[in-house]
Amino acid sequence: MLRAAPWRNWARTESVRPVRVERPTTVAAVQRAVVAAGSAGLTIKAVGTGHSFTGIAVAPGVQLDLFDLRLPGLESGFAVDLPTGQVTVAAGMPLYRLTRLLEPLGLALPNLGDIDRQTIAGAVSTGTHGTGGGLVGLAGQVVALTLVTGDGSLLRVSPGENAELLPAVRLGLGALGIIVSVTVQCVPRFLLHAVEKTEPVDVVLDDYLERTNRADHFEFFWFPHTETALTKTNTRVSVADPGSRPARFSRWIDDELLANGVYRISCDVGTVFPAMVPPLARIAARVTGDRDFTDESRRVFSSSRTVRFREMEYGLPREQIAEAFRAVRALIERKRWRISFPIEVRSAAADDLWLSTAQGRDTGYIAVHRYVREDPREFFHAVEDIMRSYDARPHWGKIHYQGADSLREVFARFDDFLAVRDRLDPERRFTNTYLERVLGP
Ligand SMILES: Cc1cc2nc3c(=O)[nH]c(=O)nc-3n(C[C@H](O)[C@H](O)[C@H](O)COP(=O)(O)OP(=O)(O)OC[C@H]3O[C@@H](n4cnc5c(N)ncnc54)[C@H](O)[C@@H]3O)c2cc1C
């Protein structure tokens, strides 16, 4: 059989040649595709923009691209209920489009991650989050969704319909069905006052809990082989108080030339001459600091990432962040590894989603990265060993090496999720190798 063109994810860690690719434009066409895949004995999966580092989106059977999906009666792919601030969008809508559509309506998403390229369905399905001690991740902002289940039927899940399924389907790993629409709770549009500083990393660690409690959005990056952290503290301000907006050119210099550009050079040189990584890290730490500006929230939350990398991220009980971070730092020093990418520390509030990294506990996140040309395995395995000693939970879209048996120990509602999977996809139409590993057959 002639197969479709090869698909690769953003990080170049996964690739597949699906049997076929379909681009349905209507919900009925999605239903037909699921039924047809079943009749042909094929698995079927929706893919977003392929920004997961794991094989979670790999579709060896039928790959569904929902970029052109439109909801009945919504040519724009978008409906807003202004009194409640709830917005319903087609599942394949990228976050950058959604946030731009919200702005003229006086609305915004309460929080966002580091980038906005992902689709809404892809982002919620893996538990994508930003930072903010009092704010839940993206899936926690979902109030309702509609999906096509394993037998091709349409299932509406909302506080008024099949509400018992909400804690599973809002963060479903793509294992429970093809999501066709997502309703998100938005907030009134706001600006962010961003303060970025370089500070001694030990001072920041000692103060991490306090800063996370105090700030709307606090995070920091540590440059390995230095004593320096870049802290980012974002405060929500009213649209009536624009403050000082960064000039577009100076923002380009900071975001593109210094952040992405400096990292690219430093990573390339470090791959060939590992001994150069520490001095280059010190230069990177020096040139990427100290900014203070106010801008539209969507523009402050996310930036572009032009240097390709691989990432592992674990969510821990927040009070253990400083200790676990110091253990990772000691590991890098002991092993004398040359790590050219910073380690990122963020936070999120507890939520009630069964497979959320923040389920039932206020969470801190530690994310480690390696440049795309470096083999991440030795470093990531060793970091994972440390994380597991802290009862940590892996991000579903980022590299980890765990399977269902050990994941069951850290996700208290794991078996409840599996029961919903048995109900919505008894024949495993939506499975793939990654899902078999993390959820079981
Ligand atoms: C540069 C970069 C920066 C990142 N920054 C962050 C960050 O700040 N915070 C964070 O938490 N994560 C971050 N991530 C991870 C990323 O947000 C997640 O992996 C996210 O899932 C990617 O969305 P996507 O649209 O690319 O989905 P894909 O990776 O294509 O798919 C993810 C999953 O969603 C499923 N899916 C997609 N559409 C549907 C649908 N319609 N119905 C059912 N299932 C569906 C897929 O089958 C798959 O299981 C980052 C990734 C990269 C590469």
129 lines ligand 1 (CB under 6 A): yes
pLDDT of residue 7: 97
357 lines ligand 1 (CB under 6 A): no
pLDDT of residue 207: 97
In angstroms and rounded to an integer, the radius of gyration of the C-alpha atoms of the chain is 21
Mutate which of 14, 45, 47, 311 for ligand 1? The one with the most ligand atoms within 8 Å of its CB, which is 47
pLDDT of residue 179: 98
Nearest CA to ligand 1 atom 37: 122
pLDDT of residue 254: 58
pLDDT of residue 73: 79
Q: Tokens in use for 283?
A: 């230069």
Local confidence pLDDT in tens for the 441 residues of the chain? 557 889 999 999 999 999 999 999 999 999 999 999 999 999 999 999 999 999 999 999 999 999 999 998 777 668 999 999 999 999 999 999 999 999 999 999 999 999 999 999 999 999 999 999 999 999 999 999 999 999 999 999 999 999 999 999 999 999 999 999 999 999 999 999 999 999 999 999 999 999 999 999 999 999 999 999 999 999 999 887 766 565 555 565 556 655 666 667 767 777 777 777 777 766 766 666 678 889 999 999 988 887 899 999 999 999 999 999 999 999 999 999 999 889 999 999 999 999 999 999 999 999 999 999 999 999 999 999 999 999 999 999 999 999 999 999 999 999 999 999 999 999 999 999 999 999 999
167 by DSSP, 3-state: which? helix
How confident is the model over 118-170, as pLDDT tens digits? 999 999 999 999 999 999 999 999 999 999 999 999 999 999 999 999 999 99
pLDDT of residue 252: 57
Distance 399 CA to ligand 1 centre (A): 12
Distance CA 231, CA 228 (A): 9
114 lines ligand 1 (CB under 6 A): yes
DSSP state of 118: S
pLDDT of residue 86: 97
Cβ count near 273 (within 10 Å): 11
Distances (CA, A) of 176 to 31, 66, 137, 168, 173: 14, 16, 20, 8, 8
50 lines ligand 1 (CB under 6 A): yes
121 lines ligand 1 (CB under 6 A): yes
Please tell me whether the overall predicted TM-score, pTM, comes out greater than 0.75 for this model: yes
pLDDT of residue 359: 98
Residues 51/125, Cβ–Cβ less than 8 Å:
no
Instruction: Give every CB contact of residue 129 below 8 A, 6+ residues apart in sequence.
Output: 111, 113, 136, 137, 138, 346, 348, 357, 358, 365
Distances (CA, A) of 74 to 27, 79, 123, 161: 12, 7, 22, 22
Residues 387/396, Cβ–Cβ less than 8 Å:
no
123 lines ligand 1 (CB under 6 A): yes
DSSP state of 318: G
